[in-house]
Structure formats: structure tokens, C-alpha cells
Amino acid sequence: MGVRMEHGNPNSVEEFVEVEKQFLINVYRRQPVVLEYGWGARVVDINGKEYIDLVAGIAVNSIGHAHPTVVEAICNQAKKLIHTSNLYYTRPQINLAIKLKELTGMDRFFFCNSGTEAVEGALKFARKVTGKKNFIAFSGSFHGRSMGALSVTFPEKYRNPFLPLLEGVEFVEFNNPDNIISKINRDTAGIVVELVQGEGGVNVAEKDFVKALIDVRNDYDCLLIVDEVQTGFGRTGRWFAKDHFALKPDIITMAKAMGGGIPIGGIGVTEEVARVLTPGDHASTFGGNPFACSASLATIKVIEEEKLVEKAKVDGEYFMKSLKKLPVNEVRGLGMMIGVDVNNASEVVNEALKRGLLVNNTSNNTLRLVPPLVITRDEIDKAVEILGDIITGQ
């Protein structure tokens, strides 16, 4: 096949696959495509083939690829100061915290580099603040793969190879308000929940379930940790999924769309939680560096200027309505976070790639559609047409 390893410069998809086998650790299942550049909701591979992107880097590229506002902001920041550590103050970090307070209603913030790290920190904060040790999480949950975050992640196939994990985690059926009470106890530090489960197959929390969460939180004096890593920054048609429920959690976690593709995560807490935390309780060398924070500020500016939260709501409804006309098992979701149940999701994903559409599936035959929020109506129509053709065998 002639893989030119000595140059470190593979040229065909086959060569990339071969190089991956030799040089990368085999933990990802990748599609056979090498992406080179993109704009808006489009990406182009090394052969010049164009794709409509319904994956958006797994709900990250909400403002689309190569948005000029973010490109300019990060270029300007890179020329000034990329990193300083948290031994010093920088303008972008402070400005981001002030902006997030306005957007989330949470009081104070900690910055990290990913969703997993945000969840990990949230679990630590909950233990320190409550002095308790147990957690409640839910069937279908996904919160990351570090030892703490993995402990509250539901699928056994992810957890079992790494046991023992955190003690005292109980999984309760998602959307079943009666079940929480049976598992909660006086040593419960926190309840960790996604209000729209992403990896679990796009399951939207019901109002009575959320009410039950609030009730038990109040009765048992534990913390409610809402994981907004995937749902945050407009994805569901509100700035944060908690806003659909007028919910005020004790802690929220965020990441993914927060930096327009530059790695950044965050934890937002109430003043009561923040008050208990002291230097040394948690830290991150890279977390909140000026480069990542300026990317996040520019991303938020784009979301505001282009009214992408409202667009996610309106165009998400349009998208779902069109999908419901297809012969699929179920369409559900909130805003631009849409799950489509089909009979053989991985085959649909593979065929879609051939037809110029990037789609992703969760383990339970659900297509998870989380496109850039800037996707156009024409692109939505085209995506529905391609999916329809595949599903009806055309």
C-alpha cells in the first residue's frame, strides 16, 4: 500500500487508517474520512468531497466551522498571551466569569479544559461542601471517563474494566420521579443529572421528574448538579437546559460548545457552595487560560449576535417536524439536540457518509443530530432528504 511513514505524511484514507494502527492508541471507532477544512455547517475531506455536518464535533461547533469572529479573537489573543497559569490574573478569564454569571445565573465559576474535568470538579465540590460521600446518577447517563466522572456514568461496558470506582453511587431510572426517594439517603452529597441526555440517546427530562429532583434535594440537603456539558450554550433552544425548567441548581458543569472548538470547560456554583471552597481544593494548570477564555467570549458574542439560541429553538422544531415525516421509529429532542430511532443506526451512519452527510449514532440505535446551530434551512432539507433516501432504501 506504500504508507510513507518516513515522511509522516499519509495521503489517502487507507494510509491514515494504517498509520493510526501503528501510532495511535486504539480507543476510538473512526469513520473512514480525513477532514481538512470547513465553514458553517459544511466540512470538506482531503479528496475535496463536501459534507453537511450533523455532528459538529459532538455538539461543539455550534457557531459553525472557522467562524471569522472566533478566528480573529484567538489570533489576536495568541499574539498577546496564550497562557499564564492561575498564579496570576488575566482579563479574558475575569470577563468570561462576569459574562457567565449573566448567562447562567450561577454566582461563581471555575475553569477547566473539558466536560469530564468539569464533572470531576463538581463531584469534589459536592463532597467538600456537604461533608457527605454518596451520589445519585441515572440510567442512560454519560458524564465522562475519569475515575470520578466514570463512576456516575451508567453503561457498565465503560465502567466494568476500571473497577473499583467511587463508592456510594446509586443509579436510578431516568424520568421516574418515584425511584429517587428509594435510593437517596442522609449521606447523599449530590444528584448528578443531564436534563437532556446526550449519549444516552437524546432523552428529555420530564417536568415532574425535575420537580422530584428539587424536592429530594431540599428534603435531604444534598446538592443538585446539572451537567450542561452537551446542552449548554443554546443547544436546546435556551441558553442552558435548566432554563426550560426554571431550575436553579447548586452546581452546573459546562464544556463542548463553550469555546467554539478550543478546549475549555467550566463549573458554575451558587454563592453557598463557593463560600466553602478554599485554595488547594481544586486547580488546573491550563484551566481558564487567556487563549481559551478569549475563544469562549468570542463564541458567546457570536451566539448573541446571530441569535443562535432562538434559531436553535425555531429551526430545531422545523428539523424535528421534517424528520417525523420519515418512516423512523421515533423522533425526540429539544432545540437542535435531536434523536432519531432507526432499526440499524450504524448502517445509516456509514451510508450517510458516502452520501455527503456526517451523522453520529449512540449505542441504542439512535441517530444523534447535533448540527452547528448556524445550519441553514436548505442544509436541513438536504440532510432530511439524504436520511429519508437511506431509510427507505433508495
> Which residues lie near ligand PLP (CB under 6 A)?
58, 114-116, 119, 142-144, 194, 198-199, 227, 229-230, 255
Residue 93 or residue 230: which is nearer to ligand PLP going by CB? 230
The nearest distance, CB 119 to ligand PLP, in angstroms, is: 5
State the minimum distance, in angstroms, from the CB of residue 76 to ligand PLP: 26
What's the residue count for the chain? 394
d(CA 313, CA 310): 5
Give the nearest distance from C-beta 236 to ligand PLP in angstroms: 12
CB of 272 to ligand PLP, least distance (A): 24
Least distance in Å: CB of 79 to ligand PLP?
27
The CA distances from residue 60 to 143, 152, 274, 376, in Å, are 16, 22, 28, 17
Q: Please state, in angstroms and rounded to a whole number, the distance separating the CA atoms of residues 210 and 55.
A: 28
**CB-based contacts of 350, cutoff 8 Å, min separation 6:** 31
In the complex, which residue's CB is closest to ligand PLP? Answer: 115
Distances (CA, A) of 382 to 212, 317, 385, 393: 41, 16, 5, 16
When the beta carbons of 93 and 153 are compared against ligand PLP, the nearer one is 153
Residues contacting residue 313 through CB under 8 Å, at least 6 positions apart: 237, 238, 335
**Is the CB of 122 or the CB of 309 nearer to ligand PLP?**
122
Q: 112-125 burial, b if ≥16 CB within 10 A, otherwise e?
A: bbbbbbbbbbbbbb
Q: Whose Cβ is closer to ligand PLP: residue 62's or residue 230's?
A: 230
**Residue 65 or residue 256: which is nearer to ligand PLP going by CB?**
256
Of 255, 377, 390, which is closest to residue 318 (Cα–Cα)?
377
Pick between residue 115 and residue 316 the one whose CB is nearest to ligand PLP: 115
> C-beta of 327: minimal distance to ligand PLP in Å?
29
* CB of 227 or CB of 315, closer to ligand PLP: 227
Q: Report in angstroms how near the CB of residue 261 gets to ligand PLP at its nearest.
A: 12
Cell matching residue 355: 452520501
Start-end of H helices in the chain: 13-23, 56-59, 68-80, 91-104, 115-130, 147-151, 156-159, 180-183, 207-220, 271-276, 290-305, 308-323, 345-354, 377-391
